[in-house]
A and B are shown apart, each in its own frame.
Chain A
Amino acid sequence: MYCICSNRSFDDILSQQRADPLPLDEMITSYTSCTSGCGSCIKALLAEAEISGLDPIAVSKLSVQEA
Protein backbone atom coordinates (compact mmCIF):
# COMPACT_ATOMS: atom_id res chain seq x y z
CA MET A 1 0.00 0.00 0.00
CA TYR A 2 0.98 3.64 -0.19
CA CYS A 3 0.50 6.17 2.61
CA ILE A 4 -0.58 9.45 1.01
CA CYS A 5 -0.02 11.49 4.19
CA SER A 6 3.61 10.29 4.33
CA ASN A 7 4.04 10.26 0.55
CA ARG A 8 5.74 6.88 0.98
CA SER A 9 4.93 3.28 0.17
CA PHE A 10 4.64 0.75 2.98
CA ASP A 11 7.62 -1.07 1.41
CA ASP A 12 9.69 2.08 1.66
CA ILE A 13 8.71 2.69 5.30
CA LEU A 14 9.36 -0.93 6.28
CA SER A 15 12.72 -0.91 4.48
CA GLN A 16 13.78 1.99 6.64
CA GLN A 17 12.58 0.11 9.71
CA ARG A 18 14.56 -2.92 8.55
CA ALA A 19 17.69 -0.79 8.12
CA ASP A 20 17.29 1.15 11.34
CA PRO A 21 14.84 -0.65 13.68
CA LEU A 22 12.83 1.37 16.18
CA PRO A 23 10.08 0.36 18.61
CA LEU A 24 6.94 0.25 16.48
CA ASP A 25 5.32 3.36 17.94
CA GLU A 26 8.54 5.26 17.21
CA MET A 27 8.61 3.80 13.71
CA ILE A 28 5.24 5.48 13.14
CA THR A 29 6.35 8.85 14.53
CA SER A 30 9.81 8.85 12.91
CA TYR A 31 9.31 7.18 9.55
CA THR A 32 5.78 8.27 8.64
CA SER A 33 3.54 11.35 8.84
CA CYS A 34 0.64 9.27 10.12
CA THR A 35 0.35 11.05 13.46
CA SER A 36 -0.02 14.46 11.84
CA GLY A 37 -1.99 12.98 8.93
CA CYS A 38 -5.12 10.85 8.77
CA GLY A 39 -3.85 7.86 10.75
CA SER A 40 -5.67 5.27 8.68
CA CYS A 41 -2.47 3.43 7.68
CA ILE A 42 -1.18 2.93 11.24
CA LYS A 43 -2.97 -0.34 11.97
CA ALA A 44 -1.99 -1.90 8.64
CA LEU A 45 1.63 -0.73 8.96
CA LEU A 46 1.99 -2.13 12.49
CA ALA A 47 0.50 -5.43 11.35
CA GLU A 48 2.88 -5.64 8.39
CA ALA A 49 5.86 -4.78 10.60
CA GLU A 50 4.94 -7.50 13.08
CA ILE A 51 4.30 -10.10 10.39
CA SER A 52 7.66 -9.23 8.79
CA GLY A 53 9.43 -9.60 12.16
CA LEU A 54 10.31 -5.91 12.19
CA ASP A 55 9.34 -5.27 15.80
CA PRO A 56 12.69 -4.94 17.64
CA ILE A 57 11.01 -5.33 21.03
CA ALA A 58 9.38 -8.60 20.03
CA VAL A 59 12.66 -9.72 18.47
CA SER A 60 14.62 -8.89 21.65
CA LYS A 61 12.05 -10.79 23.79
CA LEU A 62 12.46 -13.74 21.46
CA SER A 63 16.26 -13.58 21.82
CA VAL A 64 15.95 -13.61 25.63
CA GLN A 65 13.64 -16.64 25.48
CA GLU A 66 16.01 -18.43 23.11
CA ALA A 67 18.98 -17.69 25.38
Chain B
Amino acid sequence: MLYPALFDQLEMARWSLHSDIPWNQFDGSKLTERQLHGIKMNAILEWSAMPTAEMFLRDNEHDTDFAAFISIWFFEEQKHSLALIEYLRRFAPELMPTEAELAAVRFRFDAAPALDSLALHFCGEVRLNHWYRCARDYHSEPVIRHIYATLASDEARHARAYYVYMERALQRNAVEAFDSFTKIGMLMTNARLNKAMHPTNLHVNKALYPQDTVNSRLPDPEWLECWLSDEIRFDPDWERRVEAGVLGNLSALLGAPLKDSHDLRCLRRARLTALQATASSDALALT
Protein backbone atom coordinates (compact mmCIF):
# COMPACT_ATOMS: atom_id res chain seq x y z
CA MET B 1 0.00 0.00 0.00
CA LEU B 2 1.36 3.38 -1.01
CA TYR B 3 -1.33 5.40 0.76
CA PRO B 4 0.09 5.39 4.35
CA ALA B 5 3.52 6.76 3.29
CA LEU B 6 1.92 9.32 0.96
CA PHE B 7 -0.41 10.37 3.77
CA ASP B 8 2.62 11.01 6.03
CA GLN B 9 4.55 12.93 3.36
CA LEU B 10 1.60 15.14 2.51
CA GLU B 11 0.67 15.59 6.17
CA MET B 12 4.20 16.85 6.93
CA ALA B 13 3.94 19.40 4.10
CA ARG B 14 0.47 20.60 5.07
CA TRP B 15 -0.07 24.36 5.40
CA SER B 16 -2.70 26.33 7.22
CA LEU B 17 -5.08 28.58 5.31
CA HIS B 18 -5.17 30.88 8.33
CA SER B 19 -1.62 30.97 9.70
CA ASP B 20 0.61 30.20 6.69
CA ILE B 21 -0.78 32.75 4.24
CA PRO B 22 0.54 36.29 5.00
CA TRP B 23 -2.89 37.95 4.70
CA ASN B 24 -1.65 41.11 6.49
CA GLN B 25 0.84 41.85 3.70
CA PHE B 26 -1.92 42.60 1.17
CA ASP B 27 -1.19 45.56 -1.08
CA GLY B 28 -4.24 46.50 -3.15
CA SER B 29 -2.25 48.99 -5.24
CA LYS B 30 -0.52 46.03 -6.92
CA LEU B 31 -3.63 44.40 -8.30
CA THR B 32 -5.82 44.92 -11.38
CA GLU B 33 -9.46 44.00 -12.08
CA ARG B 34 -8.29 41.58 -14.75
CA GLN B 35 -5.98 39.83 -12.28
CA LEU B 36 -8.87 39.46 -9.84
CA HIS B 37 -10.95 37.94 -12.62
CA GLY B 38 -8.19 35.36 -13.13
CA ILE B 39 -8.18 34.52 -9.42
CA LYS B 40 -11.94 33.94 -9.57
CA MET B 41 -11.63 31.67 -12.63
CA ASN B 42 -8.85 29.66 -10.99
CA ALA B 43 -10.96 29.26 -7.85
CA ILE B 44 -13.74 27.74 -10.00
CA LEU B 45 -11.29 25.56 -11.96
CA GLU B 46 -9.91 24.14 -8.70
CA TRP B 47 -13.47 23.33 -7.63
CA SER B 48 -13.64 20.92 -10.60
CA ALA B 49 -11.52 18.54 -8.50
CA MET B 50 -14.94 17.43 -7.23
CA PRO B 51 -16.21 15.66 -10.39
CA THR B 52 -12.66 14.44 -10.99
CA ALA B 53 -12.53 12.82 -7.54
CA GLU B 54 -15.95 11.28 -8.23
CA MET B 55 -14.59 9.89 -11.50
CA PHE B 56 -11.45 8.52 -9.83
CA LEU B 57 -13.43 6.77 -7.09
CA ARG B 58 -15.92 5.28 -9.58
CA ASP B 59 -13.24 4.11 -12.05
CA ASN B 60 -10.94 2.71 -9.34
CA GLU B 61 -13.36 0.52 -7.42
CA HIS B 62 -10.79 -2.27 -7.85
CA ASP B 63 -7.98 -0.17 -6.28
CA THR B 64 -8.63 0.63 -2.63
CA ASP B 65 -5.09 2.01 -2.13
CA PHE B 66 -5.39 4.62 -4.89
CA ALA B 67 -8.96 5.49 -3.87
CA ALA B 68 -7.70 6.23 -0.35
CA PHE B 69 -5.02 8.57 -1.77
CA ILE B 70 -7.74 10.41 -3.70
CA SER B 71 -9.25 11.44 -0.36
CA ILE B 72 -6.13 13.56 0.33
CA TRP B 73 -5.87 14.85 -3.22
CA PHE B 74 -9.51 15.93 -3.20
CA PHE B 75 -9.11 17.67 0.17
CA GLU B 76 -6.05 19.59 -0.98
CA GLU B 77 -7.55 20.66 -4.32
CA GLN B 78 -10.74 21.88 -2.64
CA LYS B 79 -8.51 23.78 -0.21
CA HIS B 80 -6.85 25.49 -3.19
CA SER B 81 -10.25 26.67 -4.33
CA LEU B 82 -11.06 27.84 -0.82
CA ALA B 83 -7.75 29.76 -0.49
CA LEU B 84 -8.51 31.69 -3.69
CA ILE B 85 -12.11 32.30 -2.62
CA GLU B 86 -10.86 33.51 0.78
CA TYR B 87 -8.55 35.95 -1.01
CA LEU B 88 -11.53 37.33 -2.93
CA ARG B 89 -13.71 37.38 0.19
CA ARG B 90 -11.16 39.55 1.98
CA PHE B 91 -10.09 41.86 -0.84
CA ALA B 92 -12.70 41.77 -3.62
CA PRO B 93 -15.91 40.23 -2.23
CA GLU B 94 -17.95 41.33 -5.24
CA LEU B 95 -15.94 38.83 -7.32
CA MET B 96 -16.45 35.76 -5.13
CA PRO B 97 -17.82 32.88 -7.21
CA THR B 98 -21.47 32.13 -6.55
CA GLU B 99 -22.56 28.66 -5.47
CA ALA B 100 -24.18 28.24 -8.91
CA GLU B 101 -20.90 29.08 -10.67
CA LEU B 102 -19.11 26.46 -8.57
CA ALA B 103 -21.86 23.89 -9.09
CA ALA B 104 -21.65 24.36 -12.88
CA VAL B 105 -18.24 22.64 -13.03
CA ARG B 106 -19.55 19.60 -11.18
CA PHE B 107 -20.91 17.28 -13.85
CA ARG B 108 -20.63 13.59 -14.55
CA PHE B 109 -17.54 12.45 -16.47
CA ASP B 110 -17.92 9.41 -18.75
CA ALA B 111 -16.13 6.30 -17.52
CA ALA B 112 -12.50 6.23 -18.66
CA PRO B 113 -9.66 3.70 -18.40
CA ALA B 114 -8.19 4.18 -14.92
CA LEU B 115 -4.57 4.23 -16.09
CA ASP B 116 -5.32 6.83 -18.78
CA SER B 117 -6.82 9.09 -16.12
CA LEU B 118 -3.84 8.49 -13.83
CA ALA B 119 -1.32 9.47 -16.52
CA LEU B 120 -3.47 12.39 -17.63
CA HIS B 121 -3.57 13.78 -14.13
CA PHE B 122 0.16 13.25 -13.60
CA CYS B 123 0.76 15.41 -16.70
CA GLY B 124 -1.94 17.86 -15.58
CA GLU B 125 -0.27 18.37 -12.19
CA VAL B 126 3.11 19.02 -13.83
CA ARG B 127 1.49 21.59 -16.11
CA LEU B 128 -0.50 23.23 -13.30
CA ASN B 129 2.67 23.53 -11.20
CA HIS B 130 4.22 25.55 -14.02
CA TRP B 131 1.10 27.65 -14.66
CA TYR B 132 1.04 28.65 -11.00
CA ARG B 133 4.76 29.38 -10.89
CA CYS B 134 4.33 31.57 -13.96
CA ALA B 135 1.29 33.23 -12.31
CA ARG B 136 3.35 33.95 -9.18
CA ASP B 137 5.96 35.71 -11.35
CA TYR B 138 3.23 37.66 -13.18
CA HIS B 139 1.59 39.00 -10.02
CA SER B 140 3.26 41.64 -7.87
CA GLU B 141 0.71 41.65 -5.03
CA PRO B 142 2.50 39.72 -2.22
CA VAL B 143 -0.40 37.66 -0.82
CA ILE B 144 -1.53 36.22 -4.15
CA ARG B 145 2.12 35.56 -5.07
CA HIS B 146 2.44 33.53 -1.88
CA ILE B 147 -0.80 31.66 -2.57
CA TYR B 148 0.21 30.72 -6.13
CA ALA B 149 3.66 29.54 -4.93
CA THR B 150 2.00 27.42 -2.22
CA LEU B 151 -0.46 25.91 -4.68
CA ALA B 152 2.37 25.19 -7.15
CA SER B 153 4.24 23.16 -4.54
CA ASP B 154 1.10 21.17 -3.68
CA GLU B 155 0.60 20.37 -7.37
CA ALA B 156 4.22 19.16 -7.64
CA ARG B 157 3.69 16.86 -4.65
CA HIS B 158 0.53 15.53 -6.28
CA ALA B 159 2.49 14.84 -9.48
CA ARG B 160 5.04 12.86 -7.44
CA ALA B 161 2.25 10.87 -5.78
CA TYR B 162 0.65 10.04 -9.15
CA TYR B 163 4.14 9.06 -10.35
CA VAL B 164 4.52 6.41 -7.64
CA TYR B 165 1.13 4.95 -8.58
CA MET B 166 2.35 4.88 -12.21
CA GLU B 167 5.47 2.96 -11.08
CA ARG B 168 3.26 0.48 -9.28
CA ALA B 169 1.00 0.10 -12.34
CA LEU B 170 4.00 -0.75 -14.53
CA GLN B 171 5.07 -3.44 -12.07
CA ARG B 172 1.58 -4.94 -11.92
CA ASN B 173 0.46 -4.66 -15.52
CA ALA B 174 3.34 -3.68 -17.78
CA VAL B 175 1.58 -3.86 -21.15
CA GLU B 176 -1.56 -1.93 -20.28
CA ALA B 177 0.37 0.66 -18.26
CA PHE B 178 3.01 1.19 -20.95
CA ASP B 179 0.28 1.55 -23.61
CA SER B 180 -1.62 4.03 -21.50
CA PHE B 181 1.30 6.15 -20.25
CA THR B 182 2.98 6.52 -23.64
CA LYS B 183 -0.33 7.38 -25.35
CA ILE B 184 -1.25 10.05 -22.79
CA GLY B 185 2.35 11.33 -22.64
CA MET B 186 2.25 11.93 -26.40
CA LEU B 187 -1.11 13.68 -26.16
CA MET B 188 0.03 15.93 -23.31
CA THR B 189 3.39 16.97 -24.79
CA ASN B 190 2.35 17.70 -28.35
CA ALA B 191 0.93 21.20 -28.71
CA ARG B 192 -0.32 20.45 -32.25
CA LEU B 193 -2.63 17.78 -30.85
CA ASN B 194 -4.02 19.74 -27.93
CA LYS B 195 -3.48 23.44 -27.38
CA ALA B 196 -3.92 24.13 -23.65
CA MET B 197 -2.93 20.61 -22.65
CA HIS B 198 -4.73 20.15 -19.37
CA PRO B 199 -7.53 17.82 -18.21
CA THR B 200 -9.90 20.79 -17.84
CA ASN B 201 -9.77 21.21 -21.64
CA LEU B 202 -10.74 17.65 -22.50
CA HIS B 203 -14.24 16.57 -23.54
CA VAL B 204 -15.42 14.18 -20.83
CA ASN B 205 -19.15 13.59 -21.39
CA LYS B 206 -20.47 12.74 -24.87
CA ALA B 207 -24.09 13.50 -23.96
CA LEU B 208 -23.22 17.06 -22.90
CA TYR B 209 -21.00 17.88 -25.91
CA PRO B 210 -19.84 20.59 -26.51
CA GLN B 211 -20.48 21.79 -22.94
CA ASP B 212 -18.49 18.87 -21.59
CA THR B 213 -15.14 20.42 -20.75
CA VAL B 214 -14.59 22.09 -17.40
CA ASN B 215 -13.39 25.23 -19.17
CA SER B 216 -16.56 25.45 -21.27
CA ARG B 217 -18.59 25.64 -18.05
CA LEU B 218 -16.69 28.56 -16.55
CA PRO B 219 -18.54 31.92 -16.44
CA ASP B 220 -15.90 33.06 -18.96
CA PRO B 221 -15.03 30.07 -21.18
CA GLU B 222 -12.46 32.06 -23.19
CA TRP B 223 -10.57 33.07 -20.09
CA LEU B 224 -7.93 30.32 -19.83
CA GLU B 225 -6.46 30.91 -23.25
CA CYS B 226 -6.30 34.70 -22.67
CA TRP B 227 -4.80 34.21 -19.23
CA LEU B 228 -2.05 31.96 -20.58
CA SER B 229 -1.24 33.95 -23.73
CA ASP B 230 -1.88 37.59 -22.83
CA GLU B 231 -1.69 37.82 -19.04
CA ILE B 232 0.74 35.44 -17.34
CA ARG B 233 2.46 34.92 -20.73
CA PHE B 234 3.02 31.22 -20.58
CA ASP B 235 5.56 31.33 -23.40
CA PRO B 236 7.51 28.60 -25.24
CA ASP B 237 10.17 28.61 -22.54
CA TRP B 238 7.58 27.69 -19.88
CA GLU B 239 6.09 25.16 -22.29
CA ARG B 240 9.53 23.60 -22.74
CA ARG B 241 9.83 23.21 -18.95
CA VAL B 242 6.47 21.41 -18.77
CA GLU B 243 7.51 19.08 -21.56
CA ALA B 244 10.84 18.40 -19.83
CA GLY B 245 9.00 17.67 -16.56
CA VAL B 246 6.62 15.20 -18.18
CA LEU B 247 9.18 13.54 -20.44
CA GLY B 248 11.96 13.54 -17.80
CA ASN B 249 9.74 11.60 -15.42
CA LEU B 250 8.35 9.30 -18.13
CA SER B 251 11.94 8.64 -19.15
CA ALA B 252 12.80 7.50 -15.60
CA LEU B 253 9.58 5.51 -15.39
CA LEU B 254 10.04 3.72 -18.72
CA GLY B 255 13.84 3.43 -18.55
CA ALA B 256 14.55 5.17 -21.86
CA PRO B 257 15.90 8.61 -22.77
CA LEU B 258 13.10 10.86 -24.08
CA LYS B 259 14.04 14.32 -25.28
CA ASP B 260 10.81 15.08 -27.11
CA SER B 261 7.37 13.78 -28.01
CA HIS B 262 8.80 12.14 -31.14
CA ASP B 263 11.13 9.98 -29.00
CA LEU B 264 8.12 8.88 -26.97
CA ARG B 265 6.26 7.91 -30.14
CA CYS B 266 9.25 5.89 -31.37
CA LEU B 267 9.64 4.16 -28.00
CA ARG B 268 5.93 3.31 -27.96
CA ARG B 269 6.07 1.84 -31.46
CA ALA B 270 9.20 -0.19 -30.75
CA ARG B 271 8.37 -1.53 -27.32
CA LEU B 272 4.60 -2.03 -27.32
CA THR B 273 4.66 -4.79 -29.95
CA ALA B 274 7.45 -6.59 -28.07
CA LEU B 275 5.60 -6.28 -24.74
CA GLN B 276 2.36 -7.56 -26.27
CA ALA B 277 4.19 -10.51 -27.85
CA THR B 278 5.79 -11.41 -24.51
CA ALA B 279 2.43 -11.14 -22.73
CA SER B 280 0.80 -13.44 -25.36
CA SER B 281 3.53 -16.05 -25.09
CA ASP B 282 3.34 -15.93 -21.28
CA ALA B 283 -0.43 -16.46 -21.51
CA LEU B 284 0.09 -19.39 -23.89
CA ALA B 285 2.66 -20.95 -21.57
CA LEU B 286 0.13 -20.84 -18.74
CA THR B 287 -2.57 -22.71 -20.73
Residues of A within 8 A of B (CB): 1-2, 4-5, 7, 9-10, 36-41
Least CB separation from B127: chain A residue: A4
- A36 — which chain B residues lie within 8 A by C-beta? 149
The verdict on B249 contacting chain A, using a C-beta distance below 8 Å, is yes
How far is B253's CA from A9's CA once the two chains are assembled, in angstroms?
A: 13
Answer whether A2 and B160 are a contact pair too, CB < 8 Å, given A37-B153, A38-B154: no
Min C-beta distance of A44 to chain B, whole Å: 9
> Number of A-B pairs whose CB atoms are under 8 Å?
49
Contacts of A10 in B (CB 8 A): 252
Cβ–Cβ contact A37 & B249, under 8 A: no
Contact B248 A9 (CB under 8 A): yes
Q: Judging by beta carbons under 8 Å apart, are B129 and A4 in contact?
A: yes
Residues 7-36 of chain B: 1 if any A CB is under 8 Å from the residue's CB, otherwise 0?
001000100000000000000000000000
Across the interface, B248 reaches (CB within 8 A) one of A2, A37, A38, A40, namely A2
Of the residues A1, A7, A9, A40, contact of B241 by C-beta under 8 Å: A7
Across the interface, A40 reaches (CB within 8 A) one of B126, B156, B251, namely B156
The answer to whether B156 and A5 touch across the interface, beta carbons within 8 angstroms, is: yes
> Interface of chain B, helix or strand or loop or mixed?
helix
For the complex, what is the distance from the CA of A40 to the CA of B126, rounded to whole Å?
A: 13
What is the minimal beta-carbon distance from A2 to any residue of chain B, in angstroms? 3
CA of A9 to CA of B250, assembled, Å? 11
Contact residues in B for A38 (Cβ distance below 8 Å): 13, 129, 152-154, 156-157, 160
Distance in angstroms between the alpha carbons of A39 and B157 in the assembled complex: 8
Q: What chain A residues lie within 8 Å of B152 (beta carbons)? A: 37-38
Chain B, Cβ-Cβ closest to A44: B160
> Beyond A38-B13, A39-B13, A40-B9, is A4–B156 a contact (Cβ under 8 Å)?
yes
Are A2 and B252 in contact (CB-based, < 8 A)?
A: yes
**Cβ-based interface call for B199 (8 A):** no
B45 in the interface, Cβ–Cβ < 8 Å?
no
> Please, how many angstroms separate the alpha-carbon atoms of A37 and B133 in the complex?
10
Which of A4, A39, A40 is B245 in contact with, Cβ under 8 Å? A4
Which A residues touch B149, using CB under 8 A?
36
Q: Which residues of A have CB within 8 Å of B241?
A: 7
| 3 A-B pairs with least C-beta separation | A2-B248, A38-B156, A4-B245
On whether the beta carbons of A4 and B159 are closer than 8 Å, the reply is yes
Shortest C-beta distance, A35 to chain B (Å), equals 11
| Distance of A2 Cα from B122 Cα, bound (Å) | 13
